[in-house]
């Protein structure tokens, strides 16, 4: 069945695919860092006892989690240039391409998912720990920073990384706004050379190898953090 | 915001833009529900296979899960649509390309169903494995065979435990059905984009689509909470909240 | 021939040996108490009897059948040996009667009516007939454990295994469970009980087995054991648990 395969096409396209992979990796890394930072803020907001803080955060998170990622990508592809124009007053919105709007979309979208992971992590730290912190005279922000978050993040590292692997896979959806990530590059070559079978199977193989190795590493890490009993 | 354009006759097809929206909702639901049938049945079987200690059941199920969850859905969608007809036996491939009705739809259903099955399998597996080993021991100690233990204890308890995670997997399938637009299924997100291109009412139509997704999500959540309450085990904390 | 006969049973978890060359036997009608510090292997030993814990060497004959033998029909053997667990292990999604009926119907092939009649008789016996329709989660620990004993008895077992049946109970509930066990012992049931309840042992046990680090250190008649334990380890253990 592979008799009329053209493996050359893959070899010739490698430099182009590598450029695409760099885009994918950058997008994943930046959106992950941004998503975790923003997600932490959202999680702390959601856990606040002040309604004016917790309710908006809750609405934001639930809204984003109920909306398909592709629609969110479309939303920001449409909104980001408008917002930039509005802020900078520059009607041409120089330098804002699909990469930036995709990065903003992914960061804001992932933040909603990271928020829920981080919130669960914070809630898994026993209340006695906070009370012990208060009893030593720590303030709320000290107890959060020095006692709760370090413990919460230690428990969460595997889940945060797993979410990162999902994000890595999800970035392939930037295809819909024509951004040349790894999948975009593979798809462009596939259509240009009429070699869809080879290119898509190759893309699947690469994604599989990377994600499999990454999840395996995370699993090993998880075993080290929580030793089996 | 002005939604008046929705009742205007659409660029093509004879109906209004609102008709396009409804058609999009219909395809979104059809893709999601058909894919869910595959994901739920196949995922359940695979999940149960992974909890057994029989290697020829466990190993293939593990391989399936690893393969299907480590390749992005978009890539799988393209493979079902573009690649599979090329690598199956020639007669079948020709039929898939020319004779098969709604090739985009069925490719999307298969891709989404087989992809989500790997996630359902993991939920079912972890649900069953969260039942304490002592329970299995107690059932075995009364003389039940392992298949009977699954039938009367592990599956009834396991499925109660996984109702909440399976709800969220269903919502994931529902949202992921939008990926079907990449192979030409005109579901809700695709219709929203098309309407925005024809009318330039991007803000309004995206808002409408988002609201539809949110409303359906909330409806599913409420329904599943009702189901969860119905099958809740009295006095047992593990299920429901 | 003894009803349960252990011969040189050894078991390893990886390189860690949990049972070391254990040899003992339980005669028909005998009540044996197995005690020892935690991690001494007593629960593992008792779970070998009905094949819940496999072992790597030695032989174990129960009612004339070899447990370690691959050709032994374990479900059939288990149906004859009742077992009560530390954490009760009632099935949470079934009510009390259904818990008692399940194996009667599915394993013994009794009709639902016959099984229910049997279940109701046993629930009356353990004083819980009023709770027949409740779910396990709605009962106290002591009540759950009595249901668990009734569940085991419903199979008309030829012997009963108890794995620390009172360890998970609040102190005020221990006696209601022990009373049922004492009654059983006095009726002549063959019993092998892992427990720290030395009062129970003094009252009904015929023999006491003391285990430590996977070994059977002491295997003596009740009076010998409580009178003059031969090993120092057993003496230390006894002085620790009897002084409070």
The verdict on a CB contact (< 8 Å) between B134 and C89 is yes
For chain B, percent helix, then strand, then coil, each to nearest 5? 80, 0, 20
Closest residue on chain B to C148 (Cα): B138
- The whole-angstrom distance between B182's CA and the closest CA on chain A is 7
Q: Dump strand ranges (E) for C49-94.
A: 57-62, 65-66, 81-84
Residue A203, chain B, CB below 8 Å: the answer is yes
Least Cα separation, residue B45 to chain A (angstroms):
22
Find the closest chain C residue to B157 by CA distance: C93
Nearest-Cα distance to chain B for C237, in Å, is: 27
Mutate to test the interface with A, among B67, B71, B196 (most CBs of A within 10 A): B71
Asked whether the beta carbons of B113 and B42 are under 8 A apart, the reply is yes
| Tens digits of residue pLDDT in B113-141 | 999 999 999 999 999 999 999 999 999 99
Q: Are C135 and C96 in contact (CB under 8 A)?
A: yes
C243 vs B151, higher pLDDT: B151
Chain C residues touching B140 at Cβ < 8 A:
50, 52, 74-75, 78
Cβ atoms C167, C42 nearer than 8 A: no
| Tokens 């992979």 found at | A21
**Which has the minimum average pLDDT: A101-105, B87-91, C51-55, C227-231?**
C227-231
- Quote the CA–CA distance of B162 and B128 in Å, as a whole number: 9
Give the residue, B110 or A4, on which the prediction is more confident: B110
Supply C62's token pair: 């129960």
Q: What distance in Å separates the CA atoms of residue C128 and residue C150, rounded to the nearest whole number?
A: 10
Say yes or no: B130 contacts chain C, CB-CB below 8 A: no
Rounded-to-integer distance, Cα C44 and Cα C46, Å? 6
C57-62 β-sheet, strand order: C16-26, C4-13, C57-62, C65-66
Average pLDDT, chain A: 89
Minimal CA–CA distance to C95: which of C126, C137, C140, C125?
C137
| Beta carbons of B141 and C78 less than 8 Å apart | yes
Report which of B35, B8, B19, B3 is spatially closest to residue B191, judged by C-alpha positions.
B19
Cβ-contact C120, C149 below 8 angstroms: no
> Could you state, in chain order, the average pLDDT of each consecutive group of 10 residues for chain C (244 residues)?
92 93 95 93 94 93 92 92 94 94 93 96 96 94 96 95 94 94 95 94 94 93 85 86 66
Specify whether the CB–CB gap between C114 and C183 falls below 8 A. no
The span from the CA of A90 to the CA of C147, in Å, is: 78
* pLDDT score of A94 more than 70: no
Burial category of C93 from C-beta neighbours within 10 Å (exposed 0-12, middle 13-18, buried 19 and up): buried
CB count within 10 Å of CB A49 equals: 6
Query: How many residues belong to chain B?
Result: 241
Contact present, B73 and B176 (Cβ < 8 Å): yes
Q: Chain B: residue nearest A61 by CA?
A: B214
Chains that touch B (3 or more CB pairs under 8 A): A, C
What is the average pLDDT across B194-201?
89
Would you give the end-to-end CA distance of chain A in angstroms? 48
- CB-nearest to C135 from B132, B153, B234 is B234
**Over 80: is that where the pLDDT of B237 sits?**
no
CB contact under 8 A, B196 and A78: yes
pLDDT of residue A136: 80
Give the DSSP H or E segment for C21: strand C16-26
Residues of A in contact with B182 (CB under 8 A): 175-176
Tell whether B98 is within 8 A of chain C (Cβ): no
More confident residue, C92 or A87: C92
pLDDT over threshold 80, residue B167: yes
C202 with C221: CB under 8 angstroms? no
Distance CA B94, CA B82 (A): 12
Which single residue is written with the structure tokens 């975790």?
A36
In terms of CA atoms, which chain A residue is nearest residue B67? Answer: A208
Share of chain B above pLDDT 70, in %: 98
pLDDT at C187: 94
Q: What residues in B contact A196, CB-CB < 8 Å?
A: 78, 82-83, 86
CB atoms within 10 A of CB C103: 26
CA B188 to CA B21: how far, in whole Å?
Answer: 6
Q: What is the pTM of this model?
A: 0.86
Tokens of B228: 């969860």
Q: Which two tokens stand for residue A31?
A: 């959106």
The shortest C-alpha distance from A185 to chain B (Å) reads 12
| Cα–Cα nearest to B64, from B109, B132, B134, B125 | B125
Number of B–C residue contacts, CB under 8 Å = 93
DSSP for A148-208, please give it. IHHHHHHHHHHHHHHHHHHHHHHGGGGGGGT--SHHHHHHHHHHHHT-HHHHHHHHHHHHH
Q: Do C107 and B144 touch (CB under 8 A)?
A: yes
ipTM of the complex: 0.90
Output the six-digit token pair for B38: 């595959």
Nearest to B70 among A200, A201, A215 (CB): A215
- The alpha carbon of residue B108 and the mean position of all alpha carbons in its chain are separated, in whole angstroms, by 11
Contact (CB<8Å) B143/C137: no
A201-219 mean pLDDT: 95
- Residue A229 confidence (pLDDT): 42
Query: Looking at chain C, which subunits does it touch, using at least 3 CB pairs closer than 8 Å as the criterion?
Result: B
| Residue B212 CB coordination number (10 Å) | 17
Average pLDDT over residues A97-121: 93
CA–CA distance from C17 to each of A54, A61, B133, B227, C8 (Å)? 54, 52, 21, 48, 13
> Which residue of B137, B143, B233 is in closest CB contact with C79?
B143
Mean pLDDT calculated for residue range A54-78:
94
Contact B75 A172 (CB under 8 A): yes
> Tens of pLDDT along B7-34?
888 777 778 888 899 999 999 999 999 9
Q: How far is residue A42's CA from residue C16's CA, in Å, rounded to a whole number?
A: 48
Which residues, numbered 25 to 64 in chain A, qualify as contacts with chain B under a Cβ-Cβ cut-off of 8 Å? Answer: 62-63
């Amino acid at each position: 069945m592979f008799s009329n395969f053209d493996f050359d096409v893959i070899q010739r396209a490698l430099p182009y695919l590598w450029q695409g992979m760099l885009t994918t990796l950058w997008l994943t890394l930046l959106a992950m860092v941004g998503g975790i930072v923003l997600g932490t803020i959202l999680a702390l907001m959601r856990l606040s006892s002040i309604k004016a803080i917790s309710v908006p955060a809750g609405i934001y998170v639930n809204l984003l989690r109920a909306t398909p990622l592709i629609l969110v990508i479309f939303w920001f592809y449409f909104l980001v240039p408008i917002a930039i124009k509005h802020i900078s007053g520059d009607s041409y919105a120089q330098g804002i391409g699909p990469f930036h709007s995709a990065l903003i979309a992914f960061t804001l979208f992932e933040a909603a998912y990271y928020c829920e992971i981080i919130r669960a992590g914070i809630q898994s730290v026993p209340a006695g720990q906070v009370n012990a912190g208060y009893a030593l005279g720590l303030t709320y922000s000290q107890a959060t920073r020095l006692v709760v978050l370090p413990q919460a993040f230690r428990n969460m590292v595997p889940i945060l990384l797993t979410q990162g692997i999902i994000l890595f896979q999800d970035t392939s959806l930037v295809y819909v706004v024509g951004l040349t990530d790894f999948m975009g590059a593979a798809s462009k070559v596939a259509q240009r050379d009429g070699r869809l079978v080879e290119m898509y199977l190759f893309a699947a193989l690469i994604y599989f190898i990377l994600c499999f190795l990454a999840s395996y590493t995370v699993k090993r890490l998880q075993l080290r953090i929580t030793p089996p009993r | 915001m002005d939604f008046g354009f929705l009742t205007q006759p659409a660029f093509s097809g004879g109906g209004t833009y609102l008709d396009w929206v409804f058609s999009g909702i219909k395809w979104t639901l059809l893709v999601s529900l058909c894919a869910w049938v595959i994901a739920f049945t196949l995922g359940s079987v695979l999940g149960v296979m992974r909890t057994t200690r029989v290697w020829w059941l466990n190993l293939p199920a593990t391989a399936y899960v690893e393969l299907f969850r480590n390749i992005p859905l978009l890539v799988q969608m393209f493979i079902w649509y573009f690649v599979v007809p090329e690598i199956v036996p020639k007669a079948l491939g020709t039929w898939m390309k020319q004779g098969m009705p709604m090739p985009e739809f069925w490719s999307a259903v298969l891709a989404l169903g087989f992809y989500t099955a790997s996630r359902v399998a993991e939920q079912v597996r972890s649900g069953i494995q969260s039942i304490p080993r002592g329970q299995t021991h107690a059932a075995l100690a009364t003389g039940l065979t392992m298949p009977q233990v699954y039938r009367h204890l592990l599956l009834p308890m396991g499925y109660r435990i996984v109702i909440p995670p399976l709800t969220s997997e269903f919502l994931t399938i529902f949202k992921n059905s939008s990926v079907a637009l990449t192979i030409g299924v005109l579901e809700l997100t695709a219709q929203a984009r098309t309407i925005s291109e024809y009318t330039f009412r991007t803000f309004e139509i995206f808002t409408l689509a988002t609201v539809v997704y949110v409303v359906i999500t909330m409806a599913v959540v409420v329904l599943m909470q009702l189901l969860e309450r119905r099958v809740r085990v009295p006095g047992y904390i593990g299920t429901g909240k | 021939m003894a009803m349960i006969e252990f011969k040189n049973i050894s078991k390893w978890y990886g390189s860690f040996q949990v049972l070391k060359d254990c040899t003992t036997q339980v005669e028909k009608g005998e009540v044996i108490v197995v005690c020892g510090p935690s991690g001494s292997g007593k629960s593992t030993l008792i779970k070998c009897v009905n094949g819940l814990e496999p072992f790597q060497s030695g032989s174990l004959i129960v009612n004339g059948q070899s447990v370690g033998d691959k050709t032994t029909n374990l479900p059939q053997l288990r149906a004859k040996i009742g077992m009560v667990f530390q954490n009760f292990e009632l099935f949470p999604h079934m009510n009390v009667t259904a818990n008692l009926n399940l194996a009667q119907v599915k394993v013994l092939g009794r009709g639902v009516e016959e099984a229910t009649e049997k279940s109701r008789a046993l629930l009356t016996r353990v004083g819980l007939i009023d709770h027949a329709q409740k779910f396990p989660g709605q009962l106290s620990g002591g009540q759950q454990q009595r249901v668990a004993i009734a569940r085991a008895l419903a199979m008309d077992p030829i012997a009963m295994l108890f794995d620390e049946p009172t360890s998970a109970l609040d102190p005020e509930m221990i006696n209601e469970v022990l009373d049922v066990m004492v009654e059983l012992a006095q009726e002549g049931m063959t019993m092998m009980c892992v427990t720290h309840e030395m009062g129970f042992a003094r009252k009904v046990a015929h023999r006491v087995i003391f285990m430590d680090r996977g070994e059977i250190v002491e295997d003596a008649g009740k009076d010998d054991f409580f009178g003059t334990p031969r090993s120092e380890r057993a003496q230390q253990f006894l002085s620790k648990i009897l002084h409070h």
